[in-house]
C-alpha cells in the first residue's frame, strides 16, 4: 500500500541552525501538508501546498519557515534559524485532488521527523 515517507526520522540541531525536513508524498497525490506536534500537545496545522504554491498557512508558519517541491517527488520544510520552541514532531501529509463536489479527501500522514533543538 502506498505511503508517505519522511526523512530523517530524528534530527538534533543547535539553536540558530537551518534544518530541512524531507517528505515523499503518495505518488498520485496533489495536495501536501505539514503539521507539527509538540510533545504532549495537539497536532497543529502549519501549511498546505498545491500546484507549486502555498494555499494556506497558519500563524505558526512565519518567515522562518518555507516549503518547496524541488522535483516531482519530494516536498520539503525548511526552518531557517531554529529556536528551542521549534522542537516537535513534524508530520507531512498528502491527499488526492479534491473534486469540487466531494467531501474533503482523507489526508494520509507520514511517520514524522522528530526535531530537537538544543
Q: Which residues bind other proteins (CB under 8 A)?
A: 4, 31, 33, 35, 41-45, 48, 50, 55-56, 58, 89, 91, 103-104, 106-112
Of 14, 2, 7, 3, the C-alpha closest to 86 is 14
Q: How far is the CB of 16 from other proteins (least distance, A)?
A: 27
3-state class (DSSP) for residue 13: strand
Q: How far is the CB of 67 from other proteins (least distance, A)?
A: 13
Residue number, 48 or 87, with CB nearest to other proteins = 48
Residue number, 1 or 63, with CB nearest to other proteins = 1
Total residue count of the chain as it appears in this document: 118
**In this structure, what DSSP letter does residue 102 have?**
S
Q: How far is the CB of 7 from other proteins (least distance, A)?
A: 13
Q: How far is the CB of 111 from other proteins (least distance, A)?
A: 4
Residue number, 48 or 82, with CB nearest to other proteins = 48
Number of helices (H), then strands (E), belonging to the chain: the values are 0, 11
Contact 110, 3 (CB under 8 A): yes
**In this structure, what DSSP letter does residue 29 have?**
-
Amino acid at each position: 500500500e502506498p505511503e508517505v515517507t519522511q526523512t530523517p526520522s530524528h534530527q538534533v540541531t543547535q539553536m540558530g541552525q537551518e534544518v530541512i525536513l524531507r517528505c515523499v508524498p503518495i505518488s498520485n497525490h496533489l495536495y501536501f501538508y505539514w503539521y507539527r506536534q509538540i510533545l504532549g500537545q495537539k497536532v497543529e496545522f502549519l501549511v498546505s501546498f498545491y500546484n507549486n504554491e502555498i494555499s494556506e498557512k497558519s500563524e505558526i508558519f512565519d518567515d522562518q519557515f518555507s516549503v518547496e517541491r524541488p522535483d516531482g517527488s519530494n516536498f520539503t520544510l525548511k526552518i531557517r534559524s531554529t529556536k528551542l520552541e521549534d522542537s516537535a514532531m513534524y508530520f507531512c501529509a498528502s491527499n488526492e485532488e479534491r473534486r469540487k463536489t466531494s467531501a474533503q479527501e482523507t489526508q494520509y500522514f507520514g511517520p514524522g521527523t522528530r526535531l530537537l533543538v538544543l
